[in-house]
Amino acid sequence: MSTPPLLALRGIDKSFGSVQVLHKVDMSVYAGQVTALVGDNGAGKSTLVKCVAGIHSPDAGEIRFDDSAVSIASPKDAANLGIEVVYQDLALCDNLDIVQNMFLGRERRSRLVLDESTMEQMAAKTLDGLSVRTVNSLRQHVSSLSGGQRQTVAIAKAVLWNSRLVILDEPTAALGVAQTAQVLELVRRLADKGLAVVLISHNMNDVFAVSDRIAALYLGHMVAEVATADTSHTQVVELITSGRSGQLGQAADSDTASDYGLNGTAL
């Protein structure tokens, strides 16, 4: 890439007690692109994301955002940078409507009362900007929404606050075919609007449908960062399950992160 990444992770280590979960992880995420973060269960995906989100502090390494070294000590620090995470459980309240969920904890006020009109206008503008047409009313309770609609609300909530990087954790899990297609269209639309998007997914069809780049973690090591167009389903599955695929990934005779091919390469 000719431009620097919006988010650059360099040499990230993270341990919990005697267990080292991340080993000198490098990763680059670019504005206007969807970067798929893939790996088997226990590969370190969630831990890596939580380091970016300010939930965990890395033991070593550097996080760079917008080409400057940053310290992300809390979720508030991440939000101030423009980093928003949509977790798999969505963190939506069923007993509240769409507007109330989108502004939960960040309500707008006019003197001593909630500014319902402004919040509704901002929610509508955000959904319109994402070309969301599947929601009938902004005052619907979230409990009445389908899985795809709930995911849409969660994503819209994340981009409402002038976010620059949106991290999506398994956004199509447990969705039907039609709802999955709607969510993937929305993910692609985020990148097309200039946001950087990290998509965590086990579904290779989803990964190849919307991603520009793929970052593969294996046992806490970033074994490859490749352009989606330059790889195949089979290669990515091999990287996930064994840490190597042909010339990609871990060297056949080495167990050290320094011998991984294409580790941290910007494409």
Task: Map out the domains of the chain as residue ranges.
Answer: 1-82+164-267, 92-162
Q: What confidence category does residue 1 fall into, taking pLDDT thresholds of 50, 70 and 90?
A: low
- Specify the DSSP class assigned to residue 77: H
pTM: 0.87
Q: Note the Cα 44 to chain centre separation in Å.
A: 14
Residue 257: what residue type?
A
Concatenate the DSSP letters of all residues of 23-56 into one string.
EEEEEEE-TT-EEEEE--TTSSHHHHHHHHHTSS
pLDDT score recorded for residue 121:
94
The mean pLDDT of the chain is: 90
Q: Is the pLDDT of residue 41 over 70?
A: yes
Residue 73's alpha-carbon distances to 4, 50, 131, in angstroms, are 23, 11, 34
User: Is 1-82+164-267 in CATH node 3.40.50.300?
Assistant: yes
Q: What is the number of helices (H) and of strands (E) in the chain?
A: 8, 15
Q: What is the pLDDT of residue 233?
A: 94
For the cut 80, the answer to whether the pLDDT of residue 38 exceeds it is yes
List, for residues 133-164, the tens digit of each pLDDT value: 878 899 999 999 988 889 999 999 998 888 99
The helix/strand/coil state of 102 is helix
* Alpha-carbon gap, residue 249 to 5, rounded angstroms: 21
Distance in angstroms (rounded) separating the CA atoms of residues 197 and 212: 10
